A = this chain, B = another copy of it.
Amino acid sequence: MTRPLPEEVRRVASIGGGPIGGGWTAHFLARGYAVRSYLHDASEETAFRRIVETAWRSLETLGLEEHASLERLHVTSDLAEAVGDAEFVQESAPENLDIKRSLYAILGDLTPPDTIIASSTSGLTMTDIQAQCPTPARTVVGHPFNPPYLLPLVEIAGGRDTAPEAVAWARAFYRAAGKEPLVLTREIPGFIATRLQEALWREALHMVANDEATPEQIDLALRHGPGPRLALMGQCMAFHVACGEGGMATNLDQFGPALELPWSRLAAPALTRELRDRMVEGCDAMAAGRGFEELAAGRDRGIVAILQAIRASRPDP
C-alpha cells in the first residue's frame, strides 16, 4: 500500500478540458497542489487556460494557499504523462457512459495502483463506469457543483466494486483540499443535490409549458425568495426554524396536510410516524442544542450579510 495520507497529497491529475476539468484544475492549483491536466486534443489548450485564468481571479479573492501558483500547472495530451505519478485523479471527461468506460479501462492500468480515481459525473453511477476498469476498487464518484472552483460541495459515492476505504480516503482528501464532501449512503440516480435541483427544475419546466410562469418569473422567485436562505440554511432547518420553538415537529404535525395539496406536480410520500421522527431527529441533531432564538438570529445575520454582499457585488446600474 503506497497511498499517501489524504493531507499529504501534493500531485494531482485532472482529466478533461471543459469547464468542469478546468474548474477543478484551478481549484487544486489554488490549494497549492501541482496539477497535470490532460486534454483530449492539444488544440483545446488556449480555451482551457482561459477557464483556469478566469477562475483564478475569484480564487485569489477568496484566498490562495501559501504555495499556490499557476506555474504549477502542466498541460498535456499524453494520458500516461498526466496520471503516471499522480497521487489523486479527478476525471471530468464528457458525460457519456461509453467514453467513461473506455477511459477507465485504460486509466486502471496507467494510474499508480493505489491512487484514487474520482469521476465528476453528474448522473452516471460508478458501478456502470467502473465495469471495464481492471482496478475498480479505487474508483469513486466525486461530483462537484458548477462552478467547481467556488461551490464547495462534492458528492462521493462508490460503485459495486469500490472498496469502502477508497470512499473514506476520498472524503478525507476532499476535505483537506478545501471542499465540503458528502458521502452518499448508497448509489442513487442523480445523487442528492442534483435530485433536489432536478425536482425544482422539472416543476419549473412544467410551469413554463403550462403558461403558469415564465423563465423570468421563475428566476426572480428563486433569487429573491428561497435563494438567499438556501445559501445559509438547508430546507429542513429553514422549516425547523420557521416554526419557532416547536420546530420540525410542529412543521410536520401542523402543516403535514399541506403535503396533500396540489402545490407541486410531485406527489408527497406518506407522512408516517417513522418519517416524521427521522425529520425531527435530523433537525434536532443539526440544531445541536441551539434553541429557536439562537438559530433564527444566526439565520438573520447570515441573510443580512448575503443581501449586502449581493448588493455590493453588482456593478452600478
Interface residues of A (CB under 8 A from B): 19, 54-55, 57-58, 61-62, 123, 145-147, 150-153, 155, 180, 182, 184-186, 188-190, 192-239, 242, 244, 258-259, 261-272, 274-275, 278-279, 282-283, 285-286, 293, 296-310, 312-315
Interface contact A305-B312, CB-CB below 8 Å? yes
Interface contact B275-A225, CB-CB below 8 Å? no
* A213 (CB) vs chain B CBs: closest residue: B192
Contact of A310 among B193, B231, B272 (CB under 8 A): B231
Interface contact B190-A261, CB-CB below 8 Å? yes
Q: A185-B217, A197-B225 are in contact. List 6 more A-B contacts (CB 8 A).
A: A57-B300, A61-B308, A190-B264, A199-B202, A202-B266, A302-B310
Distance (whole angstroms) from the CB of A85 to the closest CB of chain B: 31
Interface contact A279-B220, CB-CB below 8 Å? no
27 A-B pairs whose Cβ atoms sit less than 8 Å apart in the complex: A54-B293, A62-B308, A147-B299, A150-B228, A150-B300, A153-B221, A180-B220, A182-B221, A188-B207, A189-B262, A193-B222, A197-B226, A200-B200, A202-B264, A202-B267, A202-B268, A202-B269, A204-B236, A205-B275, A205-B279, A209-B275, A215-B282, A216-B286, A218-B234, A219-B235, A266-B266, A298-B315
Interface contact B234-A230, CB-CB below 8 Å? no
- By secondary structure, the A interface counts as helix
A206 and B151 contact, Cβ closer than 8 Å, known pairs A231-B227, A236-B218: no
A219 and B231 contact, Cβ closer than 8 Å, known pairs A263-B190, A266-B199: no
Contact of A313 among B219, B272, B301, B315 (CB under 8 A): B301
Interface contact B151-A224, CB-CB below 8 Å? yes
Distance (whole angstroms) from the CB of A184 to the closest CB of chain B: 8
Interface contact A211-B193, CB-CB below 8 Å? no
Contact of A152 among B210, B224, B272 (CB under 8 A): B224
Which residues does chain B contribute within 8 Å of A147, judged by CB atoms?
296, 299-300, 303
Distance (whole angstroms) from the CB of A247 to the closest CB of chain B: 12
Interface contact A194-B310, CB-CB below 8 Å? no
Interface contact B182-A196, CB-CB below 8 Å? no
Which residues does chain B contribute within 8 Å of A278, judged by CB atoms?
208-209, 214-215
Interface contact B304-A61, CB-CB below 8 Å? yes
Interface contact A234-B205, CB-CB below 8 Å? no
Interface contact A263-B198, CB-CB below 8 Å? yes
Interface contact A182-B304, CB-CB below 8 Å? no
Distance (whole angstroms) from the CB of A64 to the closest CB of chain B: 13
